[in-house]
Amino acid sequence: MNRYSNKSIHIIPVLFCLTGIIFSCVNDLETIKKITFNTNAPDETTKELHIIISDSGFAKIEILASLAETYRGDQYITKVKDSLRVNFFNDKGEIVSTLFALSGEINFTNGTVIVKDSVRLLNFKNKQLLETEALFWNQKDSTIYSLSQIIVRTPKGIVIGKDGLKTTQEFDRYELLKPEGKIQIEDELEIN
Protein backbone atom coordinates (compact mmCIF):
# COMPACT_ATOMS: atom_id res chain seq x y z
CA MET A 1 0.00 0.00 0.00
CA ASN A 2 1.09 3.46 -0.83
CA ARG A 3 1.62 5.83 2.10
CA TYR A 4 0.36 8.83 0.12
CA SER A 5 -3.00 7.29 -0.80
CA ASN A 6 -3.85 6.82 2.89
CA LYS A 7 -3.22 10.52 3.59
CA SER A 8 -5.25 11.52 0.54
CA ILE A 9 -8.20 9.59 1.83
CA HIS A 10 -8.12 11.57 5.08
CA ILE A 11 -7.46 14.97 3.46
CA ILE A 12 -10.34 14.76 0.97
CA PRO A 13 -13.13 14.67 3.65
CA VAL A 14 -11.45 17.51 5.55
CA LEU A 15 -11.36 19.65 2.39
CA PHE A 16 -15.04 18.96 1.72
CA CYS A 17 -15.94 19.96 5.28
CA LEU A 18 -13.93 23.19 5.11
CA THR A 19 -15.43 24.07 1.72
CA GLY A 20 -18.91 23.45 3.10
CA ILE A 21 -18.26 25.60 6.15
CA ILE A 22 -16.84 28.49 4.13
CA PHE A 23 -19.65 28.59 1.58
CA SER A 24 -22.45 27.91 4.07
CA CYS A 25 -21.75 31.16 5.97
CA VAL A 26 -23.39 33.35 3.34
CA ASN A 27 -26.12 35.50 4.95
CA ASP A 28 -28.95 37.18 3.15
CA LEU A 29 -29.05 40.84 4.29
CA GLU A 30 -32.86 40.97 4.14
CA THR A 31 -33.09 37.87 6.36
CA ILE A 32 -30.73 39.47 8.89
CA LYS A 33 -32.81 42.68 8.96
CA LYS A 34 -35.99 40.68 9.56
CA ILE A 35 -34.39 38.92 12.48
CA THR A 36 -32.40 41.74 14.13
CA PHE A 37 -34.01 45.06 13.11
CA ASN A 38 -36.53 46.56 15.53
CA THR A 39 -38.17 49.77 14.25
CA ASN A 40 -39.06 50.85 17.81
CA ALA A 41 -35.51 50.53 19.14
CA PRO A 42 -33.50 53.71 19.75
CA ASP A 43 -30.75 54.66 17.35
CA GLU A 44 -28.47 55.41 20.29
CA THR A 45 -28.51 54.66 24.03
CA THR A 46 -26.37 56.70 26.41
CA LYS A 47 -25.69 56.16 30.10
CA GLU A 48 -24.68 59.21 32.16
CA LEU A 49 -25.58 61.76 29.46
CA HIS A 50 -23.93 65.19 29.82
CA ILE A 51 -24.71 67.94 27.29
CA ILE A 52 -23.62 71.58 27.51
CA ILE A 53 -25.35 74.10 25.26
CA SER A 54 -23.31 77.26 24.84
CA ASP A 55 -23.63 80.62 23.13
CA SER A 56 -20.56 82.64 22.13
CA GLY A 57 -18.35 80.31 24.17
CA PHE A 58 -20.37 80.64 27.39
CA ALA A 59 -22.40 77.79 28.90
CA LYS A 60 -26.12 78.57 28.87
CA ILE A 61 -27.67 75.19 29.64
CA GLU A 62 -26.29 71.94 31.07
CA ILE A 63 -28.31 68.72 30.75
CA LEU A 64 -27.46 65.63 32.82
CA ALA A 65 -29.35 62.33 32.70
CA SER A 66 -28.84 58.76 33.93
CA LEU A 67 -30.16 57.09 30.78
CA ALA A 68 -31.00 58.61 27.40
CA GLU A 69 -32.38 56.99 24.25
CA THR A 70 -32.06 58.93 21.00
CA TYR A 71 -34.33 58.45 17.99
CA ARG A 72 -33.49 60.00 14.61
CA GLY A 73 -36.51 59.71 12.37
CA ASP A 74 -38.78 62.50 11.19
CA GLN A 75 -37.96 64.16 14.52
CA TYR A 76 -34.64 64.12 16.38
CA ILE A 77 -35.75 63.14 19.91
CA THR A 78 -33.93 62.05 23.05
CA LYS A 79 -36.00 60.32 25.74
CA VAL A 80 -34.57 60.57 29.25
CA LYS A 81 -35.25 57.97 31.92
CA ASP A 82 -34.34 57.44 35.59
CA SER A 83 -33.40 61.07 36.34
CA LEU A 84 -32.84 64.40 34.66
CA ARG A 85 -31.18 67.62 35.81
CA VAL A 86 -30.98 70.82 33.77
CA ASN A 87 -28.84 73.74 34.98
CA PHE A 88 -29.54 77.22 33.59
CA PHE A 89 -26.67 79.75 33.60
CA ASN A 90 -26.69 83.56 33.60
CA ASP A 91 -24.36 85.74 31.51
CA LYS A 92 -21.69 85.52 34.24
CA GLY A 93 -21.58 81.72 34.01
CA GLU A 94 -23.36 81.17 37.33
CA ILE A 95 -26.12 78.61 37.78
CA VAL A 96 -29.30 80.61 38.45
CA SER A 97 -31.86 77.81 38.38
CA THR A 98 -32.00 74.02 38.19
CA LEU A 99 -34.74 71.77 36.86
CA PHE A 100 -35.12 68.21 38.21
CA ALA A 101 -37.40 65.42 36.94
CA LEU A 102 -37.52 61.63 36.72
CA SER A 103 -38.17 61.51 32.98
CA GLY A 104 -38.38 63.73 29.95
CA GLU A 105 -38.23 64.14 26.21
CA ILE A 106 -35.93 66.54 24.37
CA ASN A 107 -37.06 67.38 20.84
CA PHE A 108 -34.03 68.85 19.09
CA THR A 109 -36.03 69.36 15.88
CA ASN A 110 -38.44 71.93 17.30
CA GLY A 111 -36.45 73.01 20.39
CA THR A 112 -38.86 71.83 23.09
CA VAL A 113 -38.44 69.78 26.24
CA ILE A 114 -41.15 68.01 28.22
CA VAL A 115 -40.28 66.83 31.73
CA LYS A 116 -42.51 64.62 33.87
CA ASP A 117 -42.69 62.87 37.22
CA SER A 118 -41.66 64.68 40.39
CA VAL A 119 -40.70 67.88 38.59
CA ARG A 120 -38.95 70.59 40.61
CA LEU A 121 -37.58 73.94 39.43
CA LEU A 122 -35.36 75.79 41.89
CA ASN A 123 -34.26 79.45 41.73
CA PHE A 124 -31.21 79.89 43.96
CA LYS A 125 -31.23 83.68 44.37
CA ASN A 126 -34.92 83.94 45.33
CA LYS A 127 -34.90 80.63 47.24
CA GLN A 128 -38.10 79.56 45.51
CA LEU A 129 -39.09 76.05 44.52
CA LEU A 130 -41.72 75.05 42.00
CA GLU A 131 -43.23 71.55 42.20
CA THR A 132 -45.48 69.89 39.62
CA GLU A 133 -45.94 66.70 37.61
CA ALA A 134 -45.17 68.09 34.12
CA LEU A 135 -43.41 71.13 32.66
CA PHE A 136 -42.85 72.27 29.09
CA TRP A 137 -39.74 74.23 28.16
CA ASN A 138 -39.34 76.09 24.89
CA GLN A 139 -35.63 76.57 24.17
CA LYS A 140 -36.25 79.14 21.43
CA ASP A 141 -37.78 81.79 23.71
CA SER A 142 -36.50 80.39 27.07
CA THR A 143 -40.00 80.03 28.51
CA ILE A 144 -41.31 77.33 30.81
CA TYR A 145 -44.97 76.59 31.37
CA SER A 146 -47.19 73.99 32.98
CA LEU A 147 -50.82 73.12 32.36
CA SER A 148 -51.16 71.06 35.53
CA GLN A 149 -51.41 72.17 39.15
CA ILE A 150 -48.21 73.66 40.57
CA ILE A 151 -46.96 74.61 44.02
CA VAL A 152 -44.47 77.44 44.52
CA ARG A 153 -42.64 77.54 47.86
CA THR A 154 -40.81 80.72 48.86
CA PRO A 155 -39.45 82.01 52.18
CA LYS A 156 -42.59 84.18 52.36
CA GLY A 157 -45.16 81.44 51.84
CA ILE A 158 -46.75 78.88 49.54
CA VAL A 159 -48.95 79.55 46.53
CA ILE A 160 -50.76 77.13 44.26
CA GLY A 161 -51.58 77.55 40.60
CA LYS A 162 -54.61 75.35 39.87
CA ASP A 163 -54.11 75.45 36.09
CA GLY A 164 -50.34 75.84 35.97
CA LEU A 165 -48.01 78.77 35.38
CA LYS A 166 -45.80 80.60 32.91
CA THR A 167 -42.22 81.55 33.75
CA THR A 168 -38.72 82.02 32.38
CA GLN A 169 -36.09 79.30 32.52
CA GLU A 170 -34.38 81.30 35.26
CA PHE A 171 -37.63 81.13 37.29
CA ASP A 172 -37.00 84.69 38.47
CA ARG A 173 -40.57 85.83 37.81
CA TYR A 174 -43.72 83.86 37.08
CA GLU A 175 -47.42 84.11 36.34
CA LEU A 176 -49.77 81.72 38.13
CA LEU A 177 -52.93 80.54 36.41
CA LYS A 178 -55.85 80.42 38.89
CA PRO A 179 -53.69 81.18 41.97
CA GLU A 180 -54.62 80.39 45.54
CA GLY A 181 -52.71 80.37 48.81
CA LYS A 182 -51.13 82.69 51.32
CA ILE A 183 -48.01 84.75 50.89
CA GLN A 184 -46.52 87.51 53.04
CA ILE A 185 -46.25 90.82 51.21
CA GLU A 186 -43.96 93.43 52.63
CA ASP A 187 -45.25 96.98 52.74
CA GLU A 188 -42.77 99.00 50.69
CA LEU A 189 -44.99 101.98 49.91
CA GLU A 190 -44.63 105.19 51.82
CA ILE A 191 -47.66 107.43 51.98
CA ASN A 192 -46.97 111.15 52.26
Of 177, 173, 151, 153, nearest in space to 165 by CA: 177
> Distance (Å, rounded) from C-alpha 142 to C-alpha 136?
11
Burial of 99 (0-12, 13-18, 19+ CB in 10 A): buried
pLDDT tens figures, 97-125: 999 999 999 998 998 999 999 999 999 99
CA distances to 42, 76, 87, 144 from 51, in Å: 18, 15, 10, 19
Q: What is the phi/psi pair of residue 102, to 5°?
A: -85, -30
Read off the pLDDT band of 174 (50, 70, 90): confident
State the sign of the Cα–Cα–Cα–Cα dihedral 177, 180, 181, 187.
positive
Look at residue 12 and tell me whether its pLDDT is greater than 80: no
> Distance (Å, rounded) from C-alpha 130 to C-alpha 111?
22
User: In this structure, which topology does domain 44-183 adopt according to CATH?
Assistant: lipopolysaccharide transport protein A fold (2.60.450)
| Cα diameter, the chain | 131
Break the chain into its structural domains and give their ranges: 3-36, 44-183
More confident residue, 57 or 22: 57
Per DSSP bridges, beta strands 44-55 and 128-138 are: unpaired
Read off the pLDDT band of 179 (50, 70, 90): confident
pLDDT at position 66 is 93
pTM listed for this prediction = 0.70
